Structure 1
Amino acid sequence: MSVLLNTLYVMTHGTRLRLDHETVCMEAENGNKQLIPLHHLSGIVCIGNIIVSPPLMMKCADEGRSITFLETNGAFKARVEGPVSGNVLLRQAQYQMLGQKEKQVELVRAMIAGKIQNMRSLLMRAARETSHEDDETVLRKAANALAIALKHLQMADDINQIRGIEGESSKNYFQAFSAMIRVQRDSFQMNGRNRRPPLDPINAVLSFLYTLLMHDCKGAIESVGLDPQVGFLHTLRPGRQSLALDIMEELRSIFADRLALTLINRQQIGPNDFESRPGGAIYLNEKGKKEVVIAYQKRKQDELLHPVLNRKVAFGLIPFVQARLLARYMRGDADSYIPYLYK
């Protein structure tokens, strides 16, 4: 049996977190108090103005739990964690891959193939389910463009070439994204992907979900002893979690895009769940963020079949399974990296 440890998300402005024996004590400004056993948690994510006591930080660091701080809009600010652990020989193999072009290309090609196939799967499913002929045309056209991209990807032998194919595929995918919205279309229109800042409600939801997914991918990478900053698709840059971003690519449409569409189409979030900022920026408000986080955590508890393991695993464990498959490839225990494909 697989056990999925929970991540605690704290979003209420002014909440104080402190250590109370073996529990986290959460105290809101209105006096409400809640205790959560530490052994139930794999990490804590603080969104907005949250106060964390030093004893709780040290306890989490000692026991391998991370505390991540995000801005109210979901942007990453800082992460508190204990000493680096893991297999130094595995990290050595990871660093050596920086000088192995063929192995890098093979890995990146597999990751992007997984991403494009998962995006295409979402488009095709939406095309089958829609009752609007115009939407079906848009969705199938985008899906066909991704099918062509997959053929070009098979022949790509340079990472920059693969990045170009990925970029064009994402552009085609997001141009058709609004056709997957079945309700509230006046409020939810998307003209391509935009961020820093997001300029419409759909991009606001996606950016927030991508931040949550990034947190999980980084934790998965670290759990197997890899360095999350040394990636191959995303260029190396101080402070950038390049490998976590790499492994996140194939999971974006599965974890974030599908959930965003579900929340909108089921009207679990609506126009009142957003706020405007100077310069045209649109972000989820506190109510909207709570709704998205609850749905995200619930989604992670669902079980589905993993084709490589040939057994059911919790949805939230998929980044951890993929991180282990990635580690096997880097060590040379596997001939190829197999991306996760959603069925």
Structure 2
Amino acid sequence: MKPLLNTLFVNQDTAYLSLDGENIVVLKDDKILGRFPLHNFEQITTFGYIGASPALMKKCAEKNIALNFMTPEGRFMARVIGKTNGNVLLRKEQYRWSDSEDNSLNLAKCFIAGKLYNSKWVLERTKRDHPMRVAVDKLQKAIDHIQEQMQHILAAKDMDELRGIEGKAAVLYFSVFDDMILNQKENFFFKERNKRPPLDNMNCLLSFIYALLANDIASALEGVGLDSYVGFLHRDRPGRQSLAFDMMEEFRPILADRVAVTMVNRKKITENGFIQKENGAVLMTDDARKLVLEAWHTHKEEQITHPFLEEKIKWGLVPHVQAILLARCIRNDLDTYPPFLWK
């Protein structure tokens, strides 16, 4: 259990939420794990299938406290809200921001700044941790060029210019991605990013983890009442969760890419987990997907100090915190959106 930003996160998957007066009580096997005054929270998010008492749901609805139900893996299931809950106002403001070129550009700059910063630090960490096994000068050159692109972000006058900056930085980052792969090079190599379908084991692994990340972020956005289909950097397209893709940008290097590279380097996954079809497409076996899911959920349980909140939280809660911060920015409670900057 973790209170953050007027939100109570309950990550005990067998916990039951009940009401006692004006307090929420968290129970597990009839034992009280925690008791919190309801007036402290704007929303409650629980990760589990056990549920909450009807009395608590009624009280939350009366007090306009959103009650979110997620699976233990973080998939959004349902949301209990009151009649006068402000989510409709938040979404209307989100749509206005999306229609505004200036607001969309300002938010897009935050997402891209986070992506470039985190890409740079993933390379810095590789250079620091494996100085005898990587081409340090090559990595440093890419780091320096990514840093140069970061300095152009604020000056970008429109979305096309910003996308050009992001594209150049992505080419630099992926030009040294293969250098981070230290083991199983004959079966896990990276020449270029390819998808739909992926044409090698590494791209197949990345695509699967990117899908997991997109689902987690979409759930976090829905949990705070934002529309995950209406974005700012990624424009509207039927069936595409554009806002989830926006927020994914800052997390791709530090969550998805690091999990993929770590699994390969530690030989947690091997070439036996992949099948190449006649058309060249590479697919992952069911057993390999299970291994990736295990690694993904294990990583989400690890602790990180959030750079903006300066509090220790689990990696799995970071997208939820960022979604809250984004909602506060759109409501003008924050001057700007603070991207997650990892170091």
Same fold (TM > 0.5): yes
Q: Match of 2:139? A: 139
Structure 1 CA distance for aligned equivalents of residues 119 and 305 of structure 2: 19
Contact in 2 for aligned 1:5/1:40 (Cα 8 Å): no
Tell me what 1:157 maps to: 157
Tell me the residue number matched to 1:120: 120
**Does the Cα contact within 8 Å between 1:217 and 1:248 map onto a contact in 2?**
yes
Match of 1:38 in 2: 49
Structure 1 range deviating more: 327-336 or 168-177: 168-177
The letter of the residue matching 1:299 is H
Distance across 1 between alignment mates of 2:198 and 2:293 = 18
Report what 1:187 is aligned to: 187
Question: 1:134 deviation in Å?
Answer: 6.3
Distance 1:142 1:80, change over 3 A: closer
Question: RMSD over aligned Cα, in angstroms?
Answer: 2.7
SS of 1:153's partner is: coil
Shift of 1:179: 0.3
Residues 40/288 of structure 1: CA separation in 2 closer, same or farther (3 Å cut): farther
Which amino acid in the other structure matches residue 91 of structure 1? R
Query: Cα distance 1:251–1:134, how it changes in 2: closer, same or farther (>3 A)?
Result: closer
Aligned-pair CA distance for 1:67: 12
Change (3 A) 1:267 1:40: farther
CA contact (8 A) 2:301 2:316 kept: yes
Deviations 1:165-190 (A, max 9, x none): 11221121112101011111111111
In structure 2, give the amino acid aligned to 1:113.
A
Tell me if the contact between 1:224 and 1:323 (Cα under 8 Å) persists in the aligned partners.
yes
Q: Which residue of 2 aligns with 1:55?
A: none
Contact 1:299 1:315 in 2 (8 A): yes
Q: Over residues 198-245 of structure 1, what are the superposed CA-to-partner deviations in whole Å (9 max), with x where a residue is unaligned?
A: 111111111000001111001000000011110011111011100011
Which one is further off, 270-279 or 314-323?
270-279
1:268 is paired with a residue whose SS is coil
Match of 1:302 in 2: 302
Paired residues for 1:189-268 under 5 Å? 189-268=189-268
Task: Supply the distance in 2 between the matched residues of 1:317 and 1:81 (Cα, whole angstroms).
Answer: 16
- What residue identity is the alignment partner of 2:266? R
Q: How far off is 1:274 after superposition?
A: 1.1
- Return the letter of the residue paired with 2:189: Q
Letter in 2 for 1:38: Y
Instruction: Determine the C-alpha separation between the residues in 1 that align with 2:304 and 2:134.
Output: 32
| Paired amino acid for 2:49 | L
Percent sequence identity over aligned pairs? 40
Match of 2:19 in 1: none
Contact map agreement 1:4 1:301 (CA 8 A) in 2: no
Question: 1:159: Cα distance to partner?
Answer: 1.3
The aligned residue for residue 341 of structure 1 is: 341
Give unpaired runs (5+ residues) of structure 1.
8-36, 42-61, 69-78
**8 A Cα contact 2:110 2:338, kept in partner:** yes
C-alpha displacement at 1:83, in angstroms? 7.9
Cα distance, 1:66 vs structure 2: 7.2
Residue-by-residue CA offset, 1:33-86 (whole Å, 9 max, x unaligned): xxxx72289xxxxxxxxxxxxxxxxxxxx9855799xxxxxxxxxx99668966
Distance in 2 (CA, whole Å) between partners of 1:63 and 1:250 is 24
CA–CA distance in 1 between the matches of 2:10 and 2:78?
21
Give distance in 2, aligned partners of 1:112 and 1:305: 21
